Amino acid sequence: MPVIKKHNVHIRGNGDAVIMFAHGFGCDQNMWRHVAPAFERTHQVVLFDHIGAGDSDLSAFDPSEYTSLSRYADDVIAILRRLGKQQAVFVGHSVSAMIGVLAANKMPELFSKLVLVGPSPCYINDGDYFGGFERSDINSLLDFLEDNYLGWSQAMAPAIMGNPDRPELGQELTSSFCRTDPKIAKQFAAVTFLSDNRADLDKCTVPALVMQCSDDVIAPIEVGKYMHRHLRGSSFVQLKATGHCPNLSAPEETVAAIKSYI
């Protein structure tokens, strides 16, 4: 199947430069609807859905292939190559931040800058490294997800979103999780939360901005600072926005930080 249809790719805007937005776990390209339009005057804006999300082609998911974030990075590369785009700004939220780093390591010529929103190279604490979770925490999370995906979505989405004073945001993320194919989501969750890509940070030669939210239960401030230290020449900004999804909770601040960097 053509990669454009496979990933439900949409291109908007009239600028010469290219900016690609990649969504996080349990989401789809719609999560960028408050951010992406701000770049359409100056950029060609590329939006897509990871396999299993949004209006992607579910039949294209092969569980024997999608066993690491590297496979998702291959999809990002395939989209840009099919579109004939190089020197793109890649904006990746959550797990897509590391997918972007892996893609840039494989084909750095395709990317001019990386914007990493709430990234984490490893969610599990390991010696002096603080990822935010013990291995037992992740195992419990994945067991809950496996046993009751709907219940997991309803419990986890509001916590991930944060901003309890704005419950509509948590409800939107819950709905997004529930629209994701459960079988694919379960495998993607395991690939995401058990991944350890710390060794890949030092290999990255593409300039990067680490955007860290305040009070983020998924990617604590220590993780953002670790990313910044290990990505050579990277920039770091801590947003006033709280929670893990500033593209929904604080789109104006998110847009301003991206524009200031690029």
Please say whether the beta carbons of 123 and 138 come within 8 A.
Answer: yes
Task: Tell me which residues are annotated as active site.
Answer: 94, 216, 244
The pLDDT value recorded for residue 149 is 86
pTM of the model: 0.95
The pLDDT value recorded for residue 219 is 94
Please say whether the beta carbons of 79 and 48 come within 8 A.
Answer: yes
The pLDDT value recorded for residue 64 is 95
Please say whether the beta carbons of 219 and 193 come within 8 A.
Answer: no
The pLDDT value recorded for residue 30 is 92
**Domains of the chain, with CATH numbers?**
3-261 (3.40.50.1820)
The pLDDT value recorded for residue 116 is 98
The pLDDT value recorded for residue 163 is 87
Q: Which portions of the chain are predicted below pLDDT 50?
A: none
Q: What is the 3-state secondary structure of the chain?
A: CCHHHHCCCEEECCCCEEEEEECCCCCCHHHHCCCHHHHCCCEEEEECCCCCCCCCCHHHCCCCCCCCHHHHHHHHHHHHHHHCCCCEEEEEECHHHHHHHHHHHHCHHHEEEEEEECCCCECECECCECCCECHHHHHHHHHHHHHCHHHHHHHHHHHHHCCCCCHHHHHHHHHHHHHCCHHHHHHHHHHHHCCECHHHHCCCCCCEEEEEEECCCCCCHHHHHHHHHHCCCCEEEEEEEECCCHHHHCHHHHHHHHHHHC
**Buried b vs exposed e over 203-224: b needs ≥16 C-beta within 10 Å?**
bbebbbbbbbbeebbbbbeebb
What is the Cα–Cα distance from 208 to 231, expressed in whole angstroms?
A: 7
The pLDDT value recorded for residue 1 is 60
The pLDDT value recorded for residue 196 is 97
pLDDT (tens digit, 9 = 90+) per residue, 37-56? 999 999 999 999 999 898 99
Please say whether the beta carbons of 184 and 58 come within 8 A.
Answer: yes
